[in-house]
Amino acid sequence: MTDIAVKVSGLVKRFGGQTVLDGVSFEVHRGEIIAILGRSGTGKSVLLKTIIALIDPDAGMVEVLGRNLHTLSERERLVARRDLGYVFQGAALFDSLSVLENVGFVLYQDRVDETEIRERVVRVLAMVGLEQAIDKYPSELSGGMQKRVGLARTLINQPKVICFDEPTSGLDPVTTAVINQIILRLRSKLGVVSLVVTHDLQSAFSIADRILLLDRGAIVAMGTANEIRASNNAWVQRFIRGQADPAEMADSGSFAPVPIRHRHRTPLPDDQPPG
């Protein structure tokens, strides 16, 4: 069995006249956690959705667990995706369904026995520390709890590869740490491959085996946290320090000084209201 879980080769994706992914190539090994970072609008989420074949590329190829999902029929893709998971940024729960029904949704579709559904849902909820919330509704849960329910729904099919789209976005530091620990635990206990799109540098450096930096649809750098920190690439250093590109600032003109004009105003007597 090959050690490569995900292989991306020359991936290109365009929307209209805009090239969002421009020849992206990399490999992910079994059991790896890969963090995908970059500025907003640089193609990170499009890359995830192309890997899991929610979007088809204009050129290039993606193989996940030895299969090119983009060559399969829609029915074959649905079967292949049982080994894959996608955790949406906003959890994407059904508001009218309970946690039990959200997490067990695919089991209900498969007409699995009610007792077995509840048992399996309890098991995956326990993995994210939410078994006590099984009969609650999304509106009764915090944002962090909703994200964990979304993850539990992904785990119900025991996927081998999970794509996370901003899993810690908008969360407090404690809840962020919980999500990060869950991702690490999935790797250590189940061998799950995780591709994590994030803007959270601290999370990326703490959980990822390797970090991939995207800019304008192309890979600028890829390596371990220490390799990224030690990179001599000026763009990489500016990114991890949160510094803007001076050339872009100059081109935009948005930081040019604005003259302050003081308009003459006739003072009013103290007892006269302005009007």
pLDDT digits (tens, 9 = 90+) for 28-70: 999 999 999 998 888 999 999 999 999 999 999 999 999 998 9
Judged by DSSP in three states, 6 sits in strand
Pairing of strands 210-215, 193-197: unpaired
What are the pLDDT digits (tens) for 91-134? Answer: 788 899 999 999 999 888 888 899 999 999 999 999 888 999 99
Tell me the average pLDDT across 137-153. 90
The pair phi, psi for residue 268, each rounded to 5°, is: -100, 150
- pLDDT attached to residue 193: 95
Pairing of strands 218-223, 210-215: antiparallel
pTM as predicted: 0.82
Question: 272 vs 153, which has greater pLDDT?
Answer: 153
Tell me the average pLDDT across 66-77. 89
Domain-by-domain residue ranges, the chain?
4-92+159-170+178-246
Q: Please say whether the beta carbons of 167 and 198 come within 8 A.
A: yes
C-alpha pair distances (Å), 235 with each of 73, 118, 144: 41, 50, 32
- pLDDT attached to residue 270: 46
What is the share, in percent, of the chain residues with pLDDT greater than 70? Answer: 88
- pLDDT attached to residue 110: 86
4-92+159-170+178-246: CATH architecture: 3-Layer(aba) Sandwich (3.40)
